[in-house]
Chains A and B, each alone.
Chain A
Amino acid sequence: MQDPAPLITDAHDRVRDHYRPAIGRARDELTTPALLLDLETLRANLSLMEAGMRDVPTALRAHVKVHKSPHIARMEVEHGAVGVGCATVWEAIVMARAGISDVFVINEVVGPEKTRALALLAREADVKAAVDDAAQVAELSAAAVTAGSTIGVLIDVDEGMHRCGVASSEEALPLARRIADAPGLRFMGLTGYEGHCSLEFDETRRHAMAREAMGLLTGIATDLTGEGLPSQIVSAAGTGTWAVTSRYPGVTEIQPGSYATMDGHHRGLDPRFGWAVTVLATVISRRPDRVVLDAGSKTVGASHGVLKEPDLEKYRFDEEHSIFVADDRTPLTTGDKVEILCNYTPFAIGYFEAYHVLEEGRVVDIWPVMPRGPESRWLLDMLERGD
């Protein structure tokens, strides 16, 4: 892995300067609301996944859209990930500049700015993207030819979510031929995400659904191979299905993301991974029957969360506040700090610009959330300037 480029180190310096007073402080001395990252728990999560991947024939591609952290992504590669998955071309640019050479935008990339950004990035990194339409193939090909680069292309397969993706070999085959024939593109294989399985909390049923989805995905791969278009990569899975999908014959890599940071939803699917990311809040008002915290849906996200301790019943989440039921025995008073365990961490991360990185309860560093998005077209300008 190459060293991070100035894009990353400058951003790191900026947030470190900005939150300088926090560095070295204990958790309870921090200004809130603050996004906390517990380094020991993160390392344990990454080690657990690394150990799990030793026993299976697939590779790990860490999906970074969850945390948007170049620092966490680098640690994931150090723990065995072959590369990263991204949701946007902007994330791919950041991760490539973080020193990660294998970046896959596991999403359809449409529009002249985004395809140009992808093609320019492909001059400096191993760049891949997903397609489900011949028009995207033509657009990507034109962009790659103009930039003089080569983009790896995977066909997005609808494994049952009914969002993006082709649903059959009949749809996939002409698309694969088009990709193989398109200048500037390289047909790399198939990608799918069985996200519908992660809404099923019964493990037996979830695994059965995942196997059915993998049957569809690998069946299409087999059909394409029969037509002379073998897949180098067959990529799938999230944190909810990695355990079964990583063992499914014909799958070559898995693309989970939440295992690193975790949240309430994913702990319900795989409780072996721990809470690495939380939101720190302050009690700003203490009433006889409740406590009011300074973190609400504008920091924790629309999926809300629960208190790490004490175990209090949620009364309501407002934008800037969350309210929990309390009585005179509840050991919380105005000014106290509490951690909120998010039900869905990605939504919280979108509302912060930096992580407070803690080790043994003290802030050891500040890491940027990058790109903050959702739109970061300035990264295209950076590539076009040749910076």
Chain B
Amino acid sequence: MSSPAMTPEPEPHRVLSTPALVVDLDLFEANVAAMEALLRGTGKTVRPHVKTHRTPELARRQLGGSVVGITCATVGEAEVMVEAGFDDVLIANEVVEPGKIVRLASLARRASIAVAVDDPEPAAALSREASRVGASVGVLIDVDILLHRCGVASAEEAVALARVIGQSPGLRLRGIMGYEGRLRLGDDDRAGKIAGAYALMAKVVDALRSSGFAVAVVSGAGTSTLREALADPTVTEIQAGVYALMEPELLNLDLPFRCAVAIRGTVISRHPGRIVLDIGRRAVGVEYGPPQPIGFAATDIAISDEHTRIAMPDPLPALGSEVDMVPGQIRTTFNLHDDVWISRGGRLVDRWPIAARGSSQ
């Protein structure tokens, strides 16, 4: 049910047609190596969040060293990734629909699967299904440490939920997870918020351990809070995803990562002081602002459904020439494309399917 029905055409194209996503594999690999270097000696690991790109061939290149598993946001993503050969997957999200619980338990017979839980009822349903099919599903109690999304709000709730999970056949309590959300450099009381979030995780871990529960995994954080998570004694694994491709708004965090993905467009219209590209909001995610030009300066950028209008000084690029832009939000951008082009040393060398495009179910 999960992998897209409309699989892209089988044969690879020799010619790029715009708008197209292009990953600079040299920069991508440098980002992955920089993450490895940051992890060295910390005793912690990163569990790359593949919702970022939904691309198995990129995810594969994020493993190695202490990095052995991946994070997904949906059962559909996990199915695509297990099909692609990944054998250690955390679904860092609540799964409650009966049909998805069936798929989750079935997946747990093929790979090591863990899932987030914040409610006893779905946990009971998952336990019944896992028992029925003879699967064992890892469980992390989801704690609302800052974001006010999913998750239990207190150590008391976590302990009560742990008791339910502990008595549920087919489920293995592995620990807890919490996500503090993206915290930008300029966020009000950034340090205080992060410290408070991790202090709540530590409190929950202590309460669980004093109640007799083993806590092997404390999973959380993202690229924006990577340094704080690495320095925190409680966190054991980091669910970062963006680091491998990067987004412009995180560049001011002084992390050793560079933007590795571009959206390539064509100049389709040209007027005094402005050009129009065939990159619109149907091709690029704009939640963090419009894409930014690479290699030239714009005085104004306006994006609509099918077009980006760029006001810029002369000389304007010629009609028909290709222009690269850095997407502001890469996750919603990847989810709009069937495949991603791969470049090395400035040359296109391959094209990989974004196999989990649209796998939101």
Contacts and interface: CB of A to CB of B under 8 A. Distances in A.
A and B are interacting partners = yes
B339 to A, nearest CB: 9
Interface stretch (A38-46, A142-150, A284-292, A305-313): A284-292
Nearest to A111: B266
B331 interface: yes
Contacts of A302: 281, 285-287, 329, 332
Contacts of A132: 269, 271
Contacts of A335: 96-97, 121-122
Contacts of B286: 302
A34 B148 contact: no
**How many A residues touch the partner, as a band?**
35 or more
Contacts of A272: none
Contacts of B231: none
Interface string B5-25: 110110101010111100000
A118 B100 CA distance: 43
B94 A284 contact: yes
Given A110-B319, A381-B13, A14 B5 contact: yes
A373 B188 CA distance: 39
A88 B95 CA distance: 38
Nearest to B121: A334
Interface in A359-377: 368, 370, 372-375, 377
Contacts of A110: 266-268, 278, 319-320
Given A110-B268, A133-B269, A351 B13 contact: no
Nearest to B6: A353
A265 B148 CA distance: 28
B60 interface: no
Contacts of B13: 377-378, 381
Nearest to A89: B17
A282 interface: yes
Contacts of A33: 360-361
Contacts of B304: 163, 195
B282 interface: yes
Nearest to B319: A135
Contacts of A135: 319-320
Contact of B51 (A109, A315, A320): A320
B119 A107 contact: no
B62 interface: no
A354 B358 CA distance: 10
A139 B320 CA distance: 10
A298 B360 contact: yes
Interface residues of B, number: 67
A334 B331 contact: no
Interface in B292-338: 302, 304-307, 309, 319-320, 329, 331-332, 335-338
A194 to B, nearest CB: 13
B5 A378 contact: no
B335 A351 contact: yes
B139 to A, nearest CB: 15
B95 A284 contact: yes
22 contacts: A18-B1, A19-B1, A65-B282, A107-B306, A110-B319, A162-B309, A163-B276, A195-B304, A285-B94, A287-B144, A287-B150, A316-B148, A321-B149, A334-B121, A350-B336, A351-B358, A354-B6, A373-B282, A374-B280, A375-B17, A377-B15, A378-B9
Interface of B: 1, 4-6, 8-9, 11, 13, 15, 17-20, 51, 73-74, 93-97, 99-100, 118-119, 121-122, 144, 148-151, 153, 266-271, 274, 276, 278, 280-283, 285-287, 302, 304-307, 309, 319-320, 329, 331-332, 335-338, 358, 360-361
Q: Which 6 A-B pairs have the closest CB atoms?
A: A18-B5, A378-B9, A374-B283, A285-B150, A164-B269, A377-B17
Given A107-B268, A323-B148, A335-B121, 13 more contacts: A65-B282, A111-B18, A136-B319, A139-B320, A162-B309, A164-B276, A195-B304, A297-B285, A320-B360, A373-B283, A374-B282, A374-B336, A375-B337
